[in-house]
Structure 1
Amino acid sequence: MKAIVVGAGIGGLTATLSLRRAGCDVTLVEQLPRFTEIGAGIQLAPNATRVLRRLDLLDMVAAQSTRPSHLSFRTWSDGAEIVRYTLGREAEDGFGAPYLQVHRADLQQVLAAAVLPHSVHLNTAVVGIDQDDECAYVTTASGERLGADLVVAADGVRSAARQWLFGADEAVFSHTAAYRALLPADEVTDLDLSDYALWLGPDRHFVHYWVRRGELLNVVAVVRAEAAQESWTAQAEPGEQLREFDGWDSRVLSVLDRAGQVFRYGIHTRSPLARWNIGRITLLGDSAHAMVPFQAQGAAQAIVDAAVLGDALAGTKPAEVPAALDRYALRRISAATSVQASSARAGHDYHLPDGPEAQARNARLVAYAAENRFGPHSASWAVDAGL
């Protein structure tokens, strides 16, 4: 069985490894000339780390990660703790895999190192995908035409493959923008910051957690916005993030003030699809279900997609590929769409104005802790259909 994966992000790399585990000969095509260190922190809940264990990569990723002991929800103005949810060893025991926080580049490096070098085609832009009854094809910018039994399009939130398959369909601006930064641990030791905290305020929220074995503090500060560029490399204006969070707890302002390089990007999503695949071609990851990051499940959902895809293709003959891709999509569409919706609801709840609505939200968060000590995010961590 031969497969082509388009896009070497987290989803594409994991798909390459999962398909190889299923017995496929995989070619990975990426338009960038090299694997680059972009982005910052990624949270890997047990649904994702369970897949990394199957790929024999969990120990290597964990060695570069941080394991938070808990998640603390806090009030924007004074940092008062609203509720605390359990992570750490208890989450690992409860869900069969750890909760990790890792720098995106560290995760990408582990995944890329596991991909066979000869199977990677870097600096190769894809300009077309098509198929016939027996084969799927990728056409590159250089005019090369690659054929395989299936093509997996993991080409991100701005997926061209999605439009080739299903017609014009643009990414949707979520009306939120995020400031992100990384701070060395020794620059914030005086601030008494918890492992992992989420501060809630009117039209804004602020998240911090540790990555790279606790050496770096990852910061994400989200605001309502009328417009924002969708770019991992666009820098904020000097002091812009401080003005956006004026009046917040002094620890939040200190972190934002001490951040050296601050990036600002618009958060975009994709509308849910009724199907992800046609014939021998399928979508995976953000190309299928890009979501707001407010339940920290974007990368995890792509990783689970990859595992389910590998399971669906294992033992499959070339003639059976369309049916196998149907099985993959059937197992994943409902779950991913549900996480998309719950992430959007979480963003709404995080940004409620002070007053009765925020008080009711806080009461719900506290009540949930009495029912489930792992918090509302954990609804998506359960084992997916035998993974």
Structure 2
Amino acid sequence: MRAIVVGAGIGGLAATLSLRRAGHEVTLVEQTPRFTELGAGIQLAPNATRVLRRLDRLDAVDAQAARPADLSFRTWSDGAEICSYALGREVEDEFGAPYLQVHRADLQQALAAAVPPESVRLNTVVVGMDQDDKAAYVTTASGERLAADLVVAADGIRSAARQRLFGADEAVFSKTAAYRALLPAEEVADLDLPDTGIWMGPGRHFVHYWVRRRQLLNVVAVFGTETAQESWTEQAEPGEQLRAFEGWDPRVLSVLERTGQVFRWGIYTRTPLDRWNLGRVTLLGDSAHAMVPFQAQGAAQAILDAAVLGDCLADATPADVPDALDRYVSRRLSAATGMQARSSQAGEEFHLPDGPEARARNARMAAHAAENRFLPVAAAWAVDALDDLR
């Protein structure tokens, strides 16, 4: 069978590899002229790294990643530890795959390296999409009309394909934004930082973890706001991040003070859909279920989409495509939508004001950690492990 995948982000690349693994011919269409080093850190839980192993990409990703030992939740004002969870060997032993922290560009490069160059169409803008009973079609800005048995729209949070399939539907601002930065390890070596940390405070939280073989510290400082651009490249004003986190633990402020280039990223989501597919065309990844990143599952859910899509289309014929896409959506929609909701709820809990609610949250978290080695979201790592994949 022939497939066209629109969008060469993490989801589109994983979908391309999964469909090729299922024996199909795939053309990957990407509007940018080259793969660029955009973004910063991504966390990959075992539900994602198990799929990477299945695609023969885990070793390549692992070689550029960091393997965290644990995750520490802390209070905003003095950095007192509320609780901690294992992320290292215990996670791998329990779930059958490691927890990795990786630069987005390294993950993208590892996936792209497995796609034959002749299967990739860079600098190709899609301006139209249609279908009939026998094929689906993509029209490019140059006037080409590409035909395939199915089209996978992995064109991101601002998905044009989503609007073509289901009508006008804009991305939704979460009323949160983040300052994002990467710091060389030697610049924070003198600070007493946990291996991976989440510091929670009124209307804000601060996250840090290692990427690129622990050579870089990835920093994400999230804050509530009424407006922000959804952009990977918008730079913050000098000192803006320090003013936003004034009064926080000195270690947090030291990290923010030492950041060089700081990006200001508005966090947007998509409203859950009742379905992602129509005929021979389906959405995948952020185009279907963009979520706030507060459970570190956005990339993982796109990778899981790709795995299930390939599984549902294994041994399929062109006539089978609509039914196969129905199966794909029925297996993934509920899990991804549930993760959207859990991520949003986590953000609300992280940002509770000082007082009884925050104290109760801290007590709940400490009690859970005392009884459990793994994060509450680890239940999804097990459910999404997808042992039934062929």
1:309-364 deviation per Cα after TM superposition (whole angstroms, max 9, x unaligned)? 00000000110000000000000000000000000000000000001000111111
- Where do 1:53-132 residues align within 5 Å? 53-132=53-132
Q: Quote the Cα distance in structure 2 between the aligned partners of 1:122 and 1:229.
A: 26
Secondary structure of the residue that 1:191 maps to in structure 2?
coil
Secondary structure of the residue that 2:227 maps to in structure 1?
coil
Q: Which residue of 2 aligns with 1:13?
A: 13
Aligned-pair CA distance for 1:60: 1.0
Measured on the aligned residues, the alpha-carbon RMSD in Å equals: 0.7
Q: Quote the Cα distance in structure 2 between the aligned partners of 1:276 and 1:64.
A: 33
Q: In the alignment, residue 386 of structure 1 is paired with which amino acid? A: D
Aligned-pair CA distance for 1:375: 1.2
Q: Which residue of 2 aligns with 1:299?
A: 299
- Where do 1:171-186 residues align within 5 Å? 171-186=171-186
Secondary structure of the residue that 1:102 maps to in structure 2?
strand
Q: In the alignment, residue 268 of structure 2 is paired with which amino acid? A: H
1:109-168 deviation per Cα after TM superposition (whole angstroms, max 9, x unaligned)? 110111010000000000111100000000001110000000000000000000000000
Aligned-pair CA distance for 1:371: 3.6
Aligned-pair CA distance for 1:372: 2.4
Q: Quote the Cα distance in structure 1 between the aligned partners of 2:368 and 2:209.
A: 22
Bigger mean CA offset, 268-277 vs 368-377: 368-377
2:352 counterpart of 1:352:
yes
Q: In the alignment, residue 210 of structure 1 is paired with which amino acid? A: W
Point out where structure 2 has 5 or more consecutive residues left out of the alignment.
none
Secondary structure of the residue that 1:309 maps to in structure 2?
helix
Secondary structure of the residue that 1:301 maps to in structure 2?
helix
Q: In the alignment, residue 247 of structure 2 is paired with which amino acid? A: G
- Where do 1:19-58 residues align within 5 Å? 19-58=19-58
Return the TM-score normalized by structure 1: 0.99
Q: Quote the Cα distance in structure 1 between the aligned partners of 2:234 and 2:387.
A: 40
Q: Quote the Cα distance in structure 2 between the aligned partners of 1:368 and 1:150.
A: 45
- Where do 1:129-278 residues align within 5 Å? 129-278=129-278
Q: In the alignment, residue 6 of structure 1 is paired with which amino acid? A: V
Aligned-pair CA distance for 1:15: 0.3
Point out where structure 1 has 5 or more consecutive residues left out of the alignment.
none
List, as ranges, runs of 4+ consecutive aligned residues in structure 1 with deviation greater than 3 Å: none
- Where do 1:274-285 residues align within 5 Å? 274-285=274-285
Aligned-pair CA distance for 1:376: 1.5
Q: In the alignment, residue 138 of structure 2 is paired with which amino acid? A: V
Q: In the alignment, residue 289 of structure 1 is paired with which amino acid? A: H
Q: Quote the Cα distance in structure 2 between the aligned partners of 1:128 and 1:377.
A: 39
Q: In the alignment, residue 177 of structure 2 is paired with which amino acid? A: A
Aligned-pair CA distance for 1:192: 1.8
- % identity of equivalent residues: 78
Aligned-pair CA distance for 1:385: 5.6
Q: Quote the Cα distance in structure 2 between the aligned partners of 1:229 and 1:28.
A: 28
Q: Quote the Cα distance in structure 1 between the aligned partners of 2:184 and 2:369.
A: 32
Q: Which residue of 1 aligns with 2:386?
A: 384
Q: In the alignment, residue 17 of structure 1 is paired with which amino acid? A: L
Q: Quote the Cα distance in structure 1 between the aligned partners of 2:128 and 2:360.
A: 50
Secondary structure of the residue that 1:114 maps to in structure 2?
coil
Q: Quote the Cα distance in structure 1 between the aligned partners of 2:297 and 2:23.
A: 28
Q: Which residue of 2 aligns with 1:372?
A: 372
Q: Quote the Cα distance in structure 2 between the aligned partners of 1:377 and 1:63.
A: 26
1:229-285 deviation per Cα after TM superposition (whole angstroms, max 9, x unaligned)? 110000000000000000000000000000000000100000000000000000000
Q: Quote the Cα distance in structure 1 between the aligned partners of 2:257 and 2:388.
A: 46
Secondary structure of the residue that 2:361 maps to in structure 1?
helix
1:89-122 deviation per Cα after TM superposition (whole angstroms, max 9, x unaligned)? 0000101100000000111111011101000000
Q: In the alignment, residue 358 of structure 1 is paired with which amino acid? A: A
Q: Quote the Cα distance in structure 1 between the aligned partners of 2:292 and 2:370.
A: 27
Q: In the alignment, residue 276 of structure 2 is paired with which amino acid? A: W
Q: Quote the Cα distance in structure 2 between the aligned partners of 1:138 and 1:113.
A: 25
